[in-house]
Amino acid sequence: MSKIYRIGQIVPSSNTTMETEVPAMLLAHSQVRPEDRFTFHSSRMRMKTVQKDELAAMDAESDRCALELSDAKVDVLGYACLVAIMAMGLGYHRVSQKRLTDRTAENGATAPVITSAGALVEALKIMNAKKVAIVAPYMLPLTQLVVDYIANEGLEIVAWRALEIPDNLDVARHDPFKLPEIVSNMNVADADVIVLSACVQMPSLPVVPMVEAQTGKPVITAAIATTYSILKELKLDPIVPGAGALLSGAYPYL
């Protein structure tokens, strides 16, 4: 019997990618699991430039967004900004997920909350990754925060690249077809998994299969990891055609 699931997303006001890539993956899931159907609902936090102080101010708006989305009684709620969480301190995704889930409960519409930051960390562990290569669009200091955050979760970062794009709209305009060449200029030989986009705003989905074929390594992105976590929370099969190894069905839920 088919069911319609309401997917809520908390997104930065300048984000134009998460509301395309996540729905694209879930709609692709529906092609192979037609009984699973989805609607998509968003609430926005103000943010234009990817800087630590602006990210902190944006994060303070996430409680309001969680309340708004719980008014729609969404089935799952995703916080779609990886660096905003990671810039708030090591392990902060756990704090954010609990606080925002509590906000939905206080509103009488409890919904499980995931963060793209927590989803990425969980995905790497599900894939038994020990060593990771990372591509991120951020300036060097923020990219270092991301590297340190992931390393603090018990993973070794063997290669990373900061594209140093300060404006969030410019991050969304970055051509994903430049990513295979960027990866080809990195030393990823020791990496167990390549994080092709450690950012939900930098488009990457079209080239994930290409980079997997190019490197012979499993490739994930923050958006792919978020989609996996959404499907997990909904207890739906983690299968999305064309979305790389994590969503191939090879990694059942732990």
In the set 198, 199, 200, 231, the catalytic residue is 199
Residue 135, token pair as written in the block: 């591509």
Q: Are 202 and 171 in contact (CB under 8 A)?
A: yes
In the set 22, 50, 66, 81, the catalytic residue is 81
CA distance 145 to 154: 15
The residue length of the chain stands at: 254
Q: Is 81 a residue of the active site?
A: yes
- What is the number of helices (H) and of strands (E) in the chain? 11, 8
CA distance 217 to 90: 27
Alpha helices by DSSP H, the chain: 18-32, 52-59, 62-71, 82-86, 92-106, 116-126, 140-152, 168-173, 179-184, 208-215, 222-233
Radius of gyration of the chain (CA): 17
Which of the residues are catalytic? 81, 199
